[in-house]
């Protein structure tokens, strides 16, 4: 399993890799995880190879892997894998190609992310760069023996983009036992939320691509409507400040609770503290936090988008809104909150049933069956596909260098005083 993100980083891909690895090991299979080094990672890890990496790339909490030495190949040789599974097309994904080629092993790739929605983390983000990113991930997929898509929506998008490699849907399953019997009352008290409050919840990375401005506007409307309502946000990220400022401006800062990243029992208790889960992201490939919330029996209100539409059945386990309209979203959530007790109980049961249908034992069985199908094959990509991937990679590198040069020139120009204008007090030092 070769990934750009892994523990202690908290994110969808890292959690997916960790969950599948644990499920495979529980069944007696061997799993070697190859991942970058991260700050505060465990001092001792079994069957994990850490690669040197640059931490906190461009202000994010991601690591960028540095060139890999021969020690990785030695570790893989000792492990003797049957299959190589790449979880990214970039960085460690490139290394996965080399590993699969050297050891003549089948290569599986999970297309976890719609990468074009994340190029704002790269200096010089533009439409050209987004096209290159799509082209690179598509070309990478065509080099592999099998592609896992985490949802039907992503599978359809990959085929439409020109992925010819067989694509199968393998979502990341939820470990139901991890989210059952949480202590919501204890969590509320720890966060200063009244026992009898109505708690709207959200969990995930707090970043612009998660459509959090929309979500904050909707939550503000709901919280302002009733004095006993609070908004509980589990996660951290660059959008944290904007969310806090919005609640402060509305005079509701005391009813917003941002916990930062929480894990394990505390995450289970956080979901148990919620009455309704709100989700507005349009950039997901699968809604892992939605499955987790449902495993805790929490109904969901979400926008109709990939990742949500596969899990949220409108009127069965929550509400699924077709249009990105804040007023309509808030109204739908209001309808769930004020529904008769019997109706709310039915939505809770629907949420639990949806989570059970996406339990890890079933998705792990599915993934293992696909591994068995490709096992014994050799990584021998058609030369034209390999040339196409390398061609897009060269274009991406050229575009990157051009954008870096333009950004540097612009920065230099901004630092120079205009002719005839005096220097500001802090210029020229």
- So what's the pLDDT on residue 39? 77
Q: pLDDT confidence of 42, banded at 50, 70, 90?
A: confident
- So what's the pLDDT on residue 207? 86
User: Do 37 and 78 fall within a single domain?
Assistant: yes
Distance CA(334)–CA(381), nearest Å, equals 53
- So what's the pLDDT on residue 429? 31
Least confident stretch, 136-150, 196-210, 217-231, 408-422: 408-422
Identify whether 88 is part of a domain.
yes
How much is the average pLDDT of 359-363?
96
Is residue 230 scored above 80 in pLDDT?
A: yes
Identify whether 196 is part of a domain.
yes
User: Domain range spanning residue 257?
Assistant: 176-358
Over residues 331-358, the pLDDT tens digits come to: 999 999 999 999 999 999 999 999 999 9
User: Do 119 and 186 fall within a single domain?
Assistant: no
Closest among 250, 256, 204, 252 to 230, alpha carbons compared: 256
The CATH number of residue 27's host domain is 3.40.50
User: Do 169 and 184 fall within a single domain?
Assistant: no
User: Do 352 and 404 fall within a single domain?
Assistant: no
Is residue 406 scored above 50 in pLDDT?
A: no
Closest among 377, 211, 227, 336 to 279, alpha carbons compared: 211
Over residues 44-76, the pLDDT tens digits come to: 888 999 887 655 444 444 445 555 567 889 999
User: Do 78 and 215 fall within a single domain?
Assistant: no
The CATH number of residue 180's host domain is 3.40.50.2000
Identify whether 428 is part of a domain.
no
**Residues 6 or more apart in contact with residue 211 via CB below 8 angstroms:** 280, 281, 282, 283, 303, 324
- So what's the pLDDT on residue 213? 96
How much is the average pLDDT of 134-160?
90
User: Do 290 and 398 fall within a single domain?
Assistant: no
User: Do 285 and 341 fall within a single domain?
Assistant: yes
Is residue 316 scored above 90 in pLDDT?
A: yes
Identify whether 7 is part of a domain.
no
Identify whether 349 is part of a domain.
yes
Identify whether 3 is part of a domain.
no
- So what's the pLDDT on residue 114? 65
Triad 161, 389, 148: Cα angle to 5°:
50
- So what's the pLDDT on residue 416? 47
Hey, is 385 helix, strand or coil? helix
What are φ and ψ of residue 124, in 5° steps? Answer: 80, 25
Distance CA(58)–CA(121), nearest Å, equals 7
Closest among 404, 400, 402 to 392, alpha carbons compared: 400
User: Do 39 and 127 fall within a single domain?
Assistant: yes
Q: Tell whether the torsion through CA atoms of 244, 247, 249 and 253 is positive or negative.
A: negative
**Percentage of the chain with pLDDT > 70?**
81
Identify whether 422 is part of a domain.
no
Q: Tell whether the torsion through CA atoms of 293, 298, 301 and 305 is positive or negative.
A: positive
Any idea what DSSP says for residue 173?
P
Is residue 410 scored above 60 in pLDDT?
A: no
Hey, is 301 helix, strand or coil? strand
**Residues 6 or more apart in contact with residue 156 via CB below 8 angstroms:** none
Q: pLDDT confidence of 95, banded at 50, 70, 90?
A: confident
Bridge-based pairing state of the strands 146-149 and 107-110: parallel
Q: Which range among 39-53, 65-79, 179-193, 365-379 has the greatest average pLDDT? A: 179-193
User: Do 352 and 368 fall within a single domain?
Assistant: no
Least confident stretch, 23-27, 46-50, 196-200: 46-50
Identify whether 2 is part of a domain.
no
- Average pLDDT, rounded, for the chain: 85
Name the strand (E) or helix (H) holding 86: strand 84-86
- So what's the pLDDT on residue 26? 96
Q: pLDDT confidence of 115, banded at 50, 70, 90?
A: low
Distance CA(42)–CA(274), nearest Å, equals 31
- So what's the pLDDT on residue 101? 86
Last-in-domain residue among 326, 342, 358: 358
User: Do 163 and 270 fall within a single domain?
Assistant: no
Number of folded domains that form the chain: 2
- So what's the pLDDT on residue 427? 37
User: Do 133 and 225 fall within a single domain?
Assistant: no
How much is the average pLDDT of 402-428?
43
Over residues 243-298, the pLDDT tens digits come to: 999 999 999 999 999 999 998 899 999 999 999 999 999 878 788 999 999 999 99
- So what's the pLDDT on residue 176? 95
User: Do 153 and 200 fall within a single domain?
Assistant: no
**Residues 6 or more apart in contact with residue 304 via CB below 8 angstroms:** 320, 321, 322
**Percentage of the chain with pLDDT > 90?**
60
């Amino acid at each position: 399993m070769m990934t750009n993100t892994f523990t202690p980083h908290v994110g969808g891909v890292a959690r997916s890799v960790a969950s599948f690895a644990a499920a495979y090991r529980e069944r007696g299979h061997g799993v070697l995880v190859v991942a970058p080094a991260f700050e505060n990672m465990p001092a001792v890890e079994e069957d994990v190879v850490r690669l040197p990496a640059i931490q906190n790339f461009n202000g994010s909490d991601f690591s960028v892997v540095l060139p890999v030495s021969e020690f990785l190949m030695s570790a893989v040789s000792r492990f003797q894998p049957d299959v190589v599974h790449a979880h990214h097309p970039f960085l460690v994904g490139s290394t996965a190609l080399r590993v699969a080629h050297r050891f003549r092993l089948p290569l599986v790739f999970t297309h976890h992310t719609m990468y074009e929605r994340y190029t704002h983390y790269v200096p010089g983000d533009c439409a050209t760069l987004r096209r290159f990113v799509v082209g690179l991930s598509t070309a990478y997929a065509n080099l592999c023996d099998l592609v896992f898509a985490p949802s039907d929506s992503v599978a359809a998008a990959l085929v439409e983009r020109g992925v010819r490699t067989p694509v199968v849907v393998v979502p990341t399953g939820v470990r139901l036992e991890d989210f059952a019997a949480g202590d919501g009352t204890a969590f509320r008290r720890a966060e200063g939320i009244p026992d009898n409050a109505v708690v709207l919840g959200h969990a995930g990375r707090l970043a612009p691509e998660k459509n959090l401005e929309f979500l904050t506007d909707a939550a503000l409307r709901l919280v302002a409507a009733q004095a006993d309502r609070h908004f509980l946000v589990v996660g951290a990220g660059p959008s944290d400040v904007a969310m806090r400022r919005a609640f402060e401006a509305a005079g509701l800062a005391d009813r917003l609770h941002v916990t930062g990243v929480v894990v394990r029992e505390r995450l289970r208790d956080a979901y148990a503290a919620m009455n309704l889960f709100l989700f507005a992201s349009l950039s997901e490939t699968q809604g892992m936090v939605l499955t987790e919330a449902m495993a805790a029996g929490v109904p969901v209100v979400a926008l109709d988008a990939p990742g949500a539409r596969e899990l949220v059945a409108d009127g069965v386990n929550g509400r699924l809104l077709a249009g990105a309209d804040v007023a309509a979203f808030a109204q739908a959530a209001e309808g769930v909150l004020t529904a008769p007790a019997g109706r709310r109980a039915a939505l809770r049961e629907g949420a639990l049933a949806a989570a059970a249908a996406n339990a890890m034992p079933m998705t792990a069985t599915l993934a293992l069956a696909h591994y068995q199908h490709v096992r014994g094959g050799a990584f021998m990509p058609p030369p034209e596909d390999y040339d196409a991937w390398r061609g897009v990679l060269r274009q991406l590198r050229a575009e990157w260098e051009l954008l870096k040069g333009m950004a540097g020139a612009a920065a230099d120009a901004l630092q120079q005083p205009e002719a005839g204008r005096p220097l500001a007090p802090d210029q020229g030092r």
